[in-house]
Structure 1
Amino acid sequence: MATLLLSCLALSACSTIGSGPSGEEARLLSLADNIGQRGDHATAAAMYERAAELSADDPQIHVRLGNARLAAGNAEAAKASFRTALRLDIENADALLGLGTAQLRLGETESAVRNLQKAAPEVNTLAAWSRLGAAQALMGQGESAQHAFSQAVALSPHSPDALTNLALAHSLAGDSNEAIELMRRVSDSPLAEERHFRNMILVLVLAQDLEQANSIALPEMSASQRHALIEQASRIGEIADPASRARAMGLAMAR
């Protein structure tokens, strides 16, 4: 139901290559970048892989390959790329972030938390803190998840996704008033989309405020859609275990 982390877990090649490639390697990297930007991540990954064969000792190329594999939906292969980068440079924060993200996608949540909590302060991006928050929520670590999502909001205070993540973390912790206030900020934003209004319903139902859930203005949403959302949110509210509730809310969707 919830669409947590849609933008927060978006992948990007956020690293640069040390001294700069040359020749065939540079051509492949340039082509891979362009193709990846057009959305063909599988082809981009294949080109990054060829570039990595030409420069096997460059950790940043393996990071870019890992990110492309993640974007193509191949988390297992991405994990291998990030591990290769870390073997070449154990302090590579981008590789550690990628490894934690791949583990989160694969359901290896405990390992994801271990790696993301090291990477997030080093990388210090909206995506890094949001991935850490998601992993911590899935482990039932409510207070830690709130802290991570708060860091994400501090970096991007007007991001509807960042605010929604924090609101859902507060909701998981039973802090309904704060969750509702955050979702009001989201719903007032001109950047709010349908997924954010769906999360508003979820937060209100989990706060047991069915009156508002049934009456609050929701653009482009029919009465039947609202009713279905309320019913689904009610089922989520019946889940006692915080980690299981987080999964039901959509936190397991590491996109």
Structure 2
Amino acid sequence: MPAILLSCLTLGACSTPGSGLGGEEARLLSLADDIGRRGDHATAAAMYERAAELSADDPQIHVRLGNARLDAGNAEAAKTSFRTALSLDIENTDALLGLGTAQLRLGEVESAVRNLHKAAPEVNTLAAWSHLGAAHALLGQGESAQHAFSQAAALSPHSPDALTNLALAHSLAGEDEEAIELMRRVNDSPLAEERHFRNMVLVLVLAQELEQAHSIALPEMSPSQRQSLIEQAARIGEIADPADRARAMGLAMAR
């Protein structure tokens, strides 16, 4: 059961590379940007890689390569790109955010927290705070996770994903009333999707509100699907360790 909803978040657009690029580098970057927007991240990464070879001393090209590699699902190669960018510019917060995100995907959670903790206040984006919150939750650091997810929700107060992340952090901390209230706001949103309704069931079951879990309106969900969700949520509720519970809720899939 996917719970923390970071899969829909990306690092966002990177800064424009420094001036002075040659014609070939500029052409490759333009093509890579266009191809990446169309969803072919592997091809975009190959073009960014060629541009990085032509302008090896431009950290932002390595950042863009790292982001493309993340989007293509190659976190290990992305980590190398972000480290290269930081070796060229140790103050590059885009690279620091990317490195922390790659480490999070690779399961290097302590390293991810260390780098995302530095990057998130500087970058101050929904994705940055959400990634930091996920990393804290995976270490069982509930209060820190709540703080990070609160920052994300403050930046995007109408985002169902941001509010759901915060609700699930409250649920992990045993703060069931706060979690349910947030999920009711999510479910009242015209932007709510099936995954949000699934998480409403999860929060209700973890709060031991089984009657509500069985009766609350869940659009496009059959009774058998609802029952399956309730059973899965009950199994998650039996996990005592907060970090293990966070993983069972889907945090390990955070992007």
User: What's the TM-score once normalised by structure 1's chain length?
Assistant: 0.98
Give 1:13's aligned residue: 13
Q: Work out whether 1:26 is the aligned partner of 2:26.
A: yes
Give 2:224's aligned residue: 224
Equivalent residues, number: 255
Name the % identity. 87
Indicate conservation of the 8 Å contact 1:104/1:135, yes or no.
yes
Indicate conservation of the 8 Å contact 1:82/1:99, yes or no.
yes
Question: 2:251 aligns to what SS in structure 1?
Answer: coil
Q: Work out whether 1:65 is the aligned partner of 2:78.
A: no
The equivalences for 1:80-159 within 5 A come to: 80-159=80-159
Q: What is the alpha-carbon distance in structure 2 between the residues aligned to residue 39 and residue 73 of structure 1? A: 12
Q: What is the alpha-carbon distance in structure 2 between the residues aligned to residue 175 and residue 8 of structure 1? A: 25
Indicate conservation of the 8 Å contact 2:14/2:60, yes or no.
no
Q: What is the alpha-carbon distance in structure 1 between the residues aligned to residue 65 and residue 13 of structure 2? A: 9
Structure 2 residue runs of 5 or longer lacking an equivalent are none
Indicate conservation of the 8 Å contact 2:11/2:128, yes or no.
no
CA deviations 1:81-113 (Å, max 9, x no partner) are 000000000010000000000000000000000
Q: Which moved more, 1:119-128 or 1:3-12?
A: 3-12
Indicate conservation of the 8 Å contact 1:11/1:70, yes or no.
no
Q: CA shift at 1:7, angstroms?
A: 5.1
Q: What is the alpha-carbon distance in structure 2 between the residues aligned to residue 98 and residue 241 of structure 1? A: 29
Q: What is the alpha-carbon distance in structure 1 between the residues aligned to residue 243 and residue 61 of structure 2? A: 35
Indicate conservation of the 8 Å contact 1:51/1:61, yes or no.
yes
CA deviations 1:143-168 (Å, max 9, x no partner) are 00000000000000000000000000
Question: 1:4 aligns to what SS in structure 2?
Answer: coil
Indicate conservation of the 8 Å contact 1:104/1:112, yes or no.
yes
Q: CA shift at 1:15, angstroms?
A: 2.0
Q: What is the alpha-carbon distance in structure 2 between the residues aligned to residue 176 and residue 12 of structure 1? A: 32
Give 2:35's aligned residue: 35
Indicate conservation of the 8 Å contact 1:8/1:162, yes or no.
no
Q: What is the alpha-carbon distance in structure 1 between the residues aligned to residue 57 and residue 218 of structure 2? A: 53
Indicate conservation of the 8 Å contact 2:136/2:145, yes or no.
yes
Question: 1:252 aligns to what SS in structure 2?
Answer: helix
Structure 1 residue runs of 5 or longer lacking an equivalent are none
Q: Work out whether 1:195 is the aligned partner of 2:195.
A: yes
Give, as a single letter, the amino acid of the residue that structure 1 aligns with 2:180: I
Give, as a single letter, the amino acid of the residue that structure 2 aligns with 1:237: G
Q: What is the alpha-carbon distance in structure 2 between the residues aligned to residue 5 and residue 192 of structure 1? A: 12
Indicate conservation of the 8 Å contact 1:101/1:112, yes or no.
yes
Give, as a single letter, the amino acid of the residue that structure 2 aligns with 1:162: A
Q: What is the alpha-carbon distance in structure 2 between the residues aligned to residue 8 and residue 90 of structure 1? A: 28
CA deviations 1:107-154 (Å, max 9, x no partner) are 000000000000000000000000000000000100000000000000
Indicate conservation of the 8 Å contact 2:6/2:131, yes or no.
no
Q: CA shift at 1:19, angstroms?
A: 2.1
Q: CA shift at 1:4, angstroms?
A: 1.8
Cα-Cα RMSD: 1.0
Q: What is the alpha-carbon distance in structure 1 between the residues aligned to residue 155 and residue 8 of structure 2? A: 12
Give 1:239's aligned residue: 239
